[in-house]
C-alpha cells in the first residue's frame, strides 16, 4: 500500500495553536466533524484561553459554546475535568506521555496518540473509526479492537512513520474509502486493494 505518493503531506485538520488547544479540539471532535470543531473553538478559546480558566468554567456557559458539536453535556464535563487535571496535577502544561495523558478525564488512547504525534512530534498511531475501517479492508489487521489494530499497524511500519501513516489512512477513510459508499473510482490504491467489497471502476 502506498498512499504517500497520492498524499505526500497528511496534515491534521483540527486547528490549534498549542497542545492545550489540540487536546480540547480532539475531545470535541468525538462524533463530530473537524470542520464543525474548527468553527466552535475560536470563541471557546477566546472565553477560556487557558486550562486554569476552563477549570473554573460555569457548565451551562461552556455547554452553550460547544452545543453544536453534539454530546455537549458530557463533553463539557470532560473538558472541565480535563482542565482541572492539567492545572492541578501538571502545572497547567499538557503532559507528554501516554500514561499521563490517559490519566486525564476524557482522554483515551486515541486522543493521547493525537497529542503525542501532532503536538509533541512523537511516533504515535491514531486509531479512529476511519483507520479501523481502512486497515481492515486492506487486510492490515483482522481485529475490531483499537489497541490490537494499533499494534498490528505498528508491526508493519517503522516507528518514525507511525504518525504520518495513521494520518494518511485516516484521511483516506474520511474522503475516499467511505463506510457506505466508498469512492473506489478515484482511489489511488485501487489496483492493489484486495477488499472483496470494492466497487469496479
* Active-site residue list: 110, 128
CA-based end-to-end distance of the chain: 18
In angstroms, the CA 198 to CA 182 distance is 8
CB 145 within 8 A of CB 151: no
CB 80 within 8 A of CB 62: yes
The candidate with the shortest Cα–Cα distance to 110, out of 18, 179, 31, is 31
177: Cα separation from own chain's centroid: 17
In angstroms, the CA 154 to CA 148 distance is 10
Give the CA dihedral 127, 130, 133, 134, nearest 10 degrees. -90
Q: For 99-107, which contacts have Cβ atoms below 8 Å and span 24 or more sequence positions?
A: 105/78, 105/81, 106/27, 106/75, 106/77, 106/78, 106/79, 106/81, 106/82, 107/23, 107/27, 107/82
Amino acid at each position: 500500500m502506498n498512499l504517500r505518493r497520492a498524499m505526500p503531506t497528511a496534515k491534521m485538520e483540527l486547528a490549534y495553536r498549542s497542545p492545550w488547544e489540540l487536546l480540547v479540539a480532539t475531545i470535541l471532535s468525538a462524533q463530530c466533524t473537524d470542520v464543525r470543531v474548527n468553527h466552535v473553538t475560536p470563541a471557546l478559546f477566546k472565553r477560556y484561553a487557558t486550562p486554569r480558566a476552563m477549570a473554573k468554567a460555569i457548565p451551562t456557559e461552556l455547554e452553550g459554546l460547544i452545543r453544536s458539536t453534539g454530546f455537549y453535556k458530557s463533553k463539557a464535563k470532560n473538558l472541565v475535568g480535563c482542565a482541572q487535571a492539567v492545572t492541578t496535577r501538571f502545572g497547567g502544561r499538557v503532559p507528554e506521555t501516554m500514561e499521563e495523558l490517559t490519566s486525564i478525564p476524557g482522554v483515551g488512547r486515541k486522543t493521547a496518540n493525537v497529542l503525542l504525534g501532532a503536538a509533541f512530534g512523537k511516533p504515535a498511531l491514531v486509531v479512529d473509526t476511519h483507520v479501523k475501517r481502512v486497515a481492515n479492508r486492506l487486510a492490515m489487521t483482522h481485529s475490531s479492537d483499537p489497541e490490537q489494530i494499533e499494534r498490528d499497524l505498528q508491526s508493519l511500519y517503522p516507528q518514525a512513520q507511525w504518525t504520518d501513516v495513521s494520518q494518511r489512512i485516516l484521511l483516506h477513510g474520511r474522503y475516499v474509502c467511505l463506510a457506505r459508499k466508498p469512492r473506489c473510482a478515484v482511489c489511488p490504491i485501487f489496483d492493489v486493494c484486495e477488499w472483496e467489497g470494492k466497487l469496479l471502476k
